[in-house]
Amino acid sequence: MSTTSRIAAQIDAIEPELIALRRDLHAHPEPSWEEYRTTEVLLARLRSAGLDARTGPTGTGVICDLGTHGPLIALRGDIDALRLQDAKEVPYRSTVAGVCHACGHDLHAAAVVGAALAIDAELQAHPIPGRVRIILQPAEEAVPGGASALVKAGVVDGVEAVFALHADPSRAVGSVGVSPGPITSAADQLTIRLRGAGGHTGRPHETADLAHIAARVVVDLPMSLGRLSDPRDGLNLTFGAIQVGSAPNVIATEARLLASLRATGRGAWEAAPRHLRTLLAAIVEPLGATWELEHLVGAPPVINDPWAVEMIRRAATDMPGVDHVGPTQQSAGGEDFSWYGERTRLGYFRLGVWDPAGLRVDLHAGGFDLHERAIGLGARVLAAAAIEALVDLDAR
């Protein structure tokens, strides 16, 4: 029996348990940096298999090392949920008001647990030089996220490559999408505060008209930022909220603007903080107001390493249950998995979770759900990619 067949058989044997684990996590979601129950559930399952699992360095999340010697590969699954109401009517509907696994992190965590159990069985029955580190990461949805904290704590020091997946509702279950190069976009969050003396709307010339200035910022800042940036970097500034004033005849003393800054390339993203401050000063100050900018750096683009992508392709192409393996496009979404790329190679793939017999609901929507067959498939591909990588490294 081949390694791929053995991994598939291992996952088949525990697939009902992985589905139950995912449903349990879905019913009890916890937001970023608050994943205490989630951590205990994941720790308990790995320890019940005799694995030396430990709480991560930030107080939530799990780290677990498999194998005893040789090169080190890592698998990462994120575990936090979104602050969003679950709109589904299913037995495993969220029991926590205003919190929901609407991004598939419950699948990611269950798949990585399944991969860990399969890899442990494979390494014990068919030893090869190599180790695998399981990273069940907190706070992917936070800005800044958990990945940067784990990188600073040294969790991926000495790791040859980190593999991860993301649920993709645009792909049917059984489909795997993976490509080398940029696969996500940089994503930051901005808060801009404007202040002025306030006054009567009948005399806007005697004060700083913050509603007018806020409108100028919303229109002029993205446009001017684009003129200072390389078009190939795909920089995009979009405002999601504008809060100014509460009466028709009063000029407000404060305005608050919330925005998302995204970029497909790294150059414009790294230069944006300097340009933003220069442009805000030029737009706001001549009109008599003051400004403050809070810039929360999210993450750079995930850039897939060609070697890591080849390991995923090999693992997925031969895997029972995977119907299609093909390229995938760079998305505008952000993903803090990119921070691991500051220290090691990345292999990130998209896993089809859409049930063609049902509705297609996008990520970050209250009605998002997934075909549960994807859980076992994700575990299979992750486990096989890790073993493929270790075998390839050993052959060099």
The DSSP line for 309-361 is HHHHHHHHHT-TT--EEE--PPPS---GGGGGGGTSEEEEEEEEEE-TTS---
Q: Extract the tokens encoding 88.
A: 């589904």
* Cα–Cα distance for residue pair 198/253, rounded to 1 Å: 4
One-letter amino acid for residue 130 of the chain: G
Q: What is the pLDDT along the chain (396 residues), one digit of tens a residue?
A: 789 999 999 999 999 999 999 999 999 999 999 999 999 999 999 999 999 999 999 999 999 999 989 999 999 999 999 999 999 999 999 999 999 999 999 999 999 999 999 999 999 999 999 999 999 999 999 998 999 999 999 999 999 999 999 999 999 999 999 999 999 999 999 999 999 999 999 999 999 999 999 999 999 999 999 999 989 899 999 999 999 999 999 999 999 999 999 999 999 999 999 999 999 999 999 999 999 999 999 999 999 999 999 999 999 998 999 999 999 999 999 999 999 999 999 999 999 999 998 889 999 999 999 999 999 999 999 999 999 999 999 987
Cβ neighbours of residue 13 closer than 8 Å, sequence gap 6 or more = none
Question: What does the DSSP assignment read for 203-248?
Answer: -GGGS--HHHHHHHHHHHHHHHHHHTS-GGG--EEEEEEEEE-SST
| Helical H segments across the chain, by residue range | 3-27, 36-48, 105-125, 146-152, 210-227, 266-284, 306-317, 373-395
Domains of the chain, start order: 3-184+301-395 (3.40.630.10), 186-299 (3.30.70.360)
Mapped onto helix, strand or coil, the DSSP state of residue 21 is helix
Which of helix, strand or coil describes residue 20? helix
- Could you give phi then psi for residue 132, rounded to 5 degrees? -130, 125
Query: Is the separation of the CB atoms in 394 and 17 below 8 Å?
Result: no
Place of tokens 């205490």: 36
